[in-house]
Amino acid sequence: MRPLSDTIARLAAFRHARDTAQAPSSDLAELTGFGSNLGALRAWTRIPADLPPHAPLVVVLHGCTQTAAAYDNHSGWSHLAEAQGFALLFPEQQRANNGHLCFNWFQPEDTRRDQGEAASIRQMIERLVLDHGLDRSRIFVTGLSAGGAMASTMLAAYPEVFAGGAIIAGLPYGVAGTVPQAFDRMRGHGMPDPARLEALVRGASDHRGPWPRISIWQGTTDRTVAPSNADAILDQWRGLHRVGGRPARVETVDGVPHEVWCDREGHAVIERYDIAGMGHGTPLDGAEPGETAGAYMLDVGVSSTRHIARFWGLAPAASRAPRKTAAPAPEPVGVIQQTIESALRQAGLMR
């Protein structure tokens, strides 16, 4: 019988060959020489030719099995950046770090301030700020799934860097330190209580506020990251922003429930979207420029990209009426992912 490590390596090599053959073209430019790069990540950028002085920066973190180019080509972020005048940074995982291209959000050596992958992303940001004269007060981060969990990491480890963050089908910061714990938290098992969740962020740096604005997105039928993780993310940030359990405003946006929590001055500091019937992926609207369906990129008639940018003050609210769409497609379940999980269970590394 082959050892587990050999099986996983062979599966990863197979997926790499398949992804290389299917890799989309992209207009992103690679960023090199951004520092010591302790996390051994790659970096890609989109800088509009007519970028205004002191422009904002959005950091976009892809999910597992994705690349920077694939996420960019489906998400519409480049189209919005060109239209609204802000810079984009796409950190990219390498297979030498994670065979499934997941950011290692569950590894303590990659999620602590000034260590590993978190430090690499911070170095990328600093390089772009210096090279292009970007506005340090308008730096934002978003991510899907493992990228969403890594966005949680960046917001906790470097809260003074970010004005806002958006976590799509992600997880709270600091809730897992091993692979088995990661799978448990993804299923919603063993989550810390709200006080402990808040303490994890407070303990990640010496920062004591103000805190980044948070946008939370979740599909109600997500079978990869349990919807209860959205509750935990909300719990993690409510105490930091000193807002109560009930939202200040509840409305419907593009047919989707939208909850908003405001601080004492009435500023929206946390928002949440729960998309009924949507599985695991980034919610998109195919009527928006550059937004197209793909693996874990779901055309449900709601543009998370545009609404997140609006929440951050980077784009105006959409003025058109929402289009009617079919019921969201179920999330894709990869045969390779199932095989790897089976191997991990047989090895006793996962329940």
Q: How far is Cα 255 from Cα 252, in angstroms, rounded to an integer?
A: 6
Q: Is the pLDDT of residue 249 over 50?
A: yes
Q: Residue 316 has what pLDDT?
A: 87
Task: Specify which residues 219 forms β-bridges with.
Answer: 275
Q: Is the pLDDT of residue 184 over 60?
A: yes
Q: Is the pLDDT of residue 8 over 50?
A: no
Cα pseudo-dihedral 58, 174, 273, 318, rounded to 10: -10
- pLDDT tens digits along 22-40: 444 468 999 999 999 999 9
101 — pLDDT class (breaks 50, 70, 90): very high
Q: Residue 173 has what pLDDT?
A: 98
Q: How far is Cα 351 from Cα 349, in angstroms, rounded to an integer?
A: 7
Comparison of pLDDT for 76 and 332, the residue scoring more: 76
Q: Residue 6 has what pLDDT?
A: 47
Mean pLDDT value of segment 39-46: 98
Average pLDDT for the chain: 88
Side chain identity at 110, as an amino acid letter?
D
Q: Is the pLDDT of residue 3 over 80?
A: no
Mean pLDDT value of segment 248-260: 96
Max alpha carbon distance in the chain (Å)?
64
Comparison of pLDDT for 141 and 13, the residue scoring more: 141
Q: Residue 27 has what pLDDT?
A: 87
Residues 75, 120, 145, 304: which is the catalytic one? 145
Q: What are phi and psi for residue 50, nearest 5 degrees?
A: -105, 35
Number of residues in the chain = 351
Residue 79, judged by CB atoms within 10 A of its CB (0-12, 13-18, 19+), counts as middle
Contact call for residues 270 and 261 (beta carbons, < 8 A): yes
- pLDDT tens digits along 155-167: 999 999 999 999 9
Mean pLDDT value of segment 96-109: 97
Comparison of pLDDT for 113 and 349, the residue scoring more: 113
Domains and CATH numbers, the chain: 4-346 (3.40.50.1820)
Q: Is the pLDDT of residue 212 over 80?
A: yes
Comparison of pLDDT for 345 and 22, the residue scoring more: 345
- pLDDT tens digits along 115-155: 999 999 999 999 999 999 999 999 999 999 999 999 999 99
Q: Is the pLDDT of residue 270 over 80?
A: yes
Can you give the chain as a three-state secondary structure string? Answer: CCCHHHHHHHHHHHHHHHHHHHCCCCCCEEECCCCCCCCCCEEEEECCCCCCCCCCEEEEECCCCCCHHHHHHHHCHHHHHHHHCCEEEEEECCCCCCCCCCCCCCCHHHHCCCCHHHHHHHHHHHHHHHHHCCCCCCEEEEEECHHHHHHHHHHHHCCCCCCEEEEECCCCCCCCCCHHHHHHHHCCCCCCCHHHHHHHHHCCCCCCCCCCEEEEEEECCCCCCCCHHHHHHHHHHHHHHCCCCCCCEEEEECCEEEEEEECCCCCEEEEEEEECCCCCCEEECCCCCCECCECCEEECCCCHHHHHHHHCCCCCCCCCCCCCCCCCCCCCCCHHHHHHHHHHHHCCCCC
State both tokens at 178.
Answer: 């091993």
Q: Residue 341 has what pLDDT?
A: 54
Q: Nearest CA to 305 among 140, 150, 159?
A: 140
Q: How far is Cα 313 from Cα 77, in angstroms, rounded to an integer?
A: 15
Verify whether residue 145 is a known catalytic residue. yes
Q: Nearest CA to 72 among 137, 105, 23?
A: 23
**Which segment of 6-15, 212-221, 304-313 scores lowest on mean pLDDT?**
6-15
Q: Is the pLDDT of residue 11 over 70?
A: no
**Which segment of 3-17, 46-60, 205-219, 232-246 scores lowest on mean pLDDT?**
3-17
